[in-house]
Chain A
Amino acid sequence: MRTLTLALVTVTLVAAGAREVVAHHSFAPFNMESEKTISGTIKKFDWTNPHTWIWLDVTNDKGVVETWGIEGMSPNYLGRRGWTKNSLKPGDKVSIVVRPMRDGSPGGMFVRATLADGRELRQSGQAVD
């Protein structure tokens, strides 16, 4: 049952004033009250179920490159809202807003991304027929 997710979605809707839907699991691993912006280079974009995963190489404060894992909605969901498997390509410079992992691991839940050309990617929005 996804009722737990629903409860968390509802809380999030109120808190963030935005639609965020993760169908497959709860938001427990993420800090849903926090947003963090990370910038780097796309290493890989997994266009896979049950979630898409963006692997982003980010240079940290110590000058070391760290690969962040960013979870997004599924290709099924995003594909009906304008995304494709080529929405993010290896080598793309991108800035991504995430809800970071609570345990401090280099990962988070996708909120939105801005590409070098100014194009913005969001997960929410009306389905496209």
Chain B
Amino acid sequence: MRPTPLSRLASVATLLLMMLADRPAHAQTTAKSAPTAADWAALAKLPDFTGVWEIGLGGGGGGRGRGAPPQGPSLTPTAAAKRKELQSLGREDNQTANCLPPGMPGIMGQPYPMEFLLTPGKVTIVIEAYTQVRHIYTDGRALPEDPDLKFHGTSVGRWEGNTLVVDSIGFSPLTELVANVPHGDKMRVRERFTLTGPDTMSIETTVTDPDVLTAPFTTTRVLQRHRSWTIAEYVCQENNRNFVDEKGKAGIRLDDPSGSPRK
């Protein structure tokens, strides 16, 4: 039977009703529904995180930028004993010398820039060092009960006024809390990202870990915005001549310079 104009209209109306019924009660964006024009427009009301950001003067050398407290984490007796044991092994370096990315929380302290991308329901952090990406879901979802263990864990975020608050759990055992301090299964990282000036951002990072820390371990980094910069490529395996062996002995391959990429 050929559809009449009326039956066509009825089909369209039914389809529209189905689509409307499928939308969540609150117009909150989730991965299950396409963002609306209003969702995109709402981003304009958030603090301006655009541009490329780097830890202030001197780079911070992989630990922290200015403003970090000098004291280290307060360890449980077990974790302190473990650190002492690992230190006694005389490890000169860790697997980042072999190009394994540091994971959280160390990846946020590199002397390389990062960029924040705000889209409906999500903040993406593009990190130049080791070409890493963090995915932070701001669509209201909860953290998973039993997450797979990842270098950056699993992250959700929310806006508290002008501060982006990010909670992360579920970290790979290949990452460390700080040098020679392996984290426990229950490590949790809370980060507070706040603009503190026209081109400055503060990131306050608080690590809790009941198996390893006797008190929350908080550090603060200050980032500087560089509007004219772009994120550059960083392929660690391109020409990596550093290495660390199984015993933690660090070395350098000086052999065959003509074999390196740029002849």
Residue in B177, B227, B238 whose beta carbon sits within 8 Å of that of A50 in the complex: B238
List the A side residues contacting B261 at CB < 8 Å. Answer: 46, 48
| Closest residue of A by beta carbon distance from B231 | A76
Of A23-31, A91-99, A114-122, the one touching chain B:
A23-31
Q: How far is the CA of A53 from the CA of B259 in the complex (A)?
A: 12
Cross-chain contact of B257 among A4, A47, A53 (Cβ < 8 A): A53
List chain B positions with a Cβ less than 8 A from chain A. Answer: 54, 57-64, 91-94, 96-97, 99, 102, 106, 109-112, 128-129, 175-179, 226-229, 232-236, 238-242, 244, 250-252, 254, 257-258, 260-263
A23 to B93, CA, bound (A): 12
Contact between chains at A49 and B239 (CB < 8 Å): yes
- CB neighbours of B175 from chain A (8 A): 1
Once A3-B178, A4-B94 are accepted as A-B contacts, the answer to whether A69 and B254 lie under 8 Å apart by CB is yes
Distance from B205 Cβ to chain A, minimum over Cβ atoms (Å): 13
Given contacts A1-B175, A19-B58, A26-B250, contact A43 B106 (CB under 8 A): no
Are B179 and A79 interface neighbours, CB within 8 A? no
Residues in A with CB closer than 8 Å to B242 are 24-25, 29, 50-51
Instruction: For A48, give the chain B residue with the smallest CB separation.
Output: B239
Task: Tell whether A107 pairs with B252 under 8 Å between CB atoms, given A2-B96, A6-B61, A21-B59.
Answer: yes
Contact: B93 with A26, CB < 8 Å?
yes
A21-B250 contact, Cβ under 8 Å, with A2-B96, A71-B241: no
Interface size on A, residues (CB 8 A): 46
In the complex, what's the smallest C-beta–C-beta distance from B260 to chain A, in angstroms? 5
Nearest 6 pairs between A and B by C-beta?
A2-B62, A6-B63, A28-B92, A3-B179, A48-B239, A9-B61
| Residues in chain A near residue B263, CB distance under 8 A | 44
Complex contact B234–A76 (CB within 8 A): yes
Decide if A5 is an interface residue (CB 8 Å cutoff). Answer: yes
Task: Decide yes or no: A2 and B110 within 8 Å by CB, A48-B239, A49-B233 being known contacts.
Answer: yes
